[in-house]
Amino acid sequence: MQDNNNLVDFNDVQTRETEMKKISNNKPNNTPLGLYVADCVTYMKDMPAESVDLVVTSPPYDNLRDYKGYHFDFKSIALGLFKVVKNGGVVVWVIGDRINGGRSLTSFRQGLYFQEIGFSMHDVMIYQKKNTPFMRSNAYTNCYEFMFVLSKGKPNTFNPLKEKTVRSGYEMLVHNKKSDGINKKILGKLKSEKTKTNIWKYAVGLGGTTSDKIAFNHPAVFPEKLAEDHILTWSNKGDLVFDPMCGSGTTCKMAFTHERRYLGLDISEEYIKIAKCRIERVGNDKMGRLL
Ligand SMILES: C[S@@+](CC[C@H](N)C(=O)[O-])C[C@H]1O[C@@H](n2cnc3c(N)ncnc32)[C@H](O)[C@@H]1O
């Protein structure tokens, strides 16, 4: 298979992967890094406990898509994640529901199970799609999925992303309001930026989700920016970012881009090949900049 966009040939991927690992494997650790074809439940059994700083992943939703005969065992995956994530580590679980015939609420059931096994539901965030074709004749158009932010204890890392405030400059601001009810006002400088809210909006489709045409050989890619925003928020350079169901490799690509170590698994060999192509392209860009 070839990506017409960047002419990546899968046959070259195997050899060049070794080179890529040298780039990503810059910290000694017992966990093998890179991308592997594997059933994540089996694979996590052999992974060291408490070795992962951050997971950003999205499972198959309610059998909505055909992922080439995978076996999806949610409870075993959740237990595996609880084992491999460090104390203070975070799991971002991007999940939607089957909508036709009434919402399945699989997302809620999974959230409650995560709590039951010891995760804290640190936040329930919304991934809003800026453009969505899913119109419904008898309900409003669905335009979001959940991003469960699960933590094992208190999160070790929170680097809040900021956005620009609408107003800037100076204004008369309420100051020292007391029980007499009189608002005293003083001239104050408005903050030029504030911490983002927990509803994140992303464009989807080519150019929005990603510009890598090859990624669309996978049926359910999430936006690169979504993975990037979580990686920047919940991890630091050199941390280990894990995606147990990495599909086209979005999380690993963004982890590599931001100098985190990464481990990605998928049960499908075809998807891992796509992921390798995408990451290799980042590696080529990085090497290009160094030369
Ligand atoms: C929603 S997709 C992930 C898409 C990914 N976030 C991306 O941006 O491309 C879910 C993936 O889980 C994989 N999968 C399902 N069961 C699995 C298992 N037991 N172990 C590893 N991967 C699995 C599927 O092959 C599929 O690629």
What pLDDT, on the 0 to 100 scale, is given for residue 208? 87
Average confidence (pLDDT) over 224-229: 98
Assess whether 222 and 283 both reside in one domain. Answer: yes
Ligand 1 pocket mutation pick from 44, 92, 262, 266 by most atoms within 8 angstroms of CB: 266
Confidence grade of residue 131 (pLDDT, cut at 50, 70, 90): confident
Range of the domain at 155: 10-161+197-290
Percent of the chain with pLDDT over 70: 82
What pLDDT, on the 0 to 100 scale, is given for residue 26? 39
Res. 20: pLDDT tops 90: no
Assess whether 224 and 203 both reside in one domain. Answer: yes
Res. 32: pLDDT tops 90: no
Q: Which residue has the tokens 């419904």?
A: 136
Assess whether 46 and 99 both reside in one domain. Answer: yes
Percent of the chain with pLDDT over 90: 63
Nearest-atom index, ligand 1, CA of 250? 8
What digits encode the pLDDT tens for the residues 169-179?
888 887 766 77
Q: How far is CA 120 from CA 51, 52, 74, 110, 219, in A?
A: 18, 16, 17, 13, 30
The Å distance, Cα 161 to ligand 1 centre, comes to: 27
Assess whether 187 and 244 both reside in one domain. Answer: no
What pLDDT, on the 0 to 100 scale, is given for residue 30? 60
Instruction: Give the span between the Cα atoms of 62 and 72, in whole angstroms.
Output: 10
Burial class, 113, CB count within 10 angstroms (exposed 0-12 / middle 13-18 / buried 19+): middle
What digits encode the pLDDT tens for the residues 263-282?
999 999 999 999 999 999 88
Assess whether 81 and 153 both reside in one domain. Answer: yes
Q: How many CB atoms lie within 10 A of CB 286?
A: 14
Res. 74: pLDDT tops 80: yes
C-beta of 41 in contact with ligand 1 (< 6 A) = yes
Average confidence (pLDDT) over 93-107: 91
The Å distance, Cα 58 to ligand 1 centre, comes to: 7
The Å distance, Cα 246 to ligand 1 centre, comes to: 5
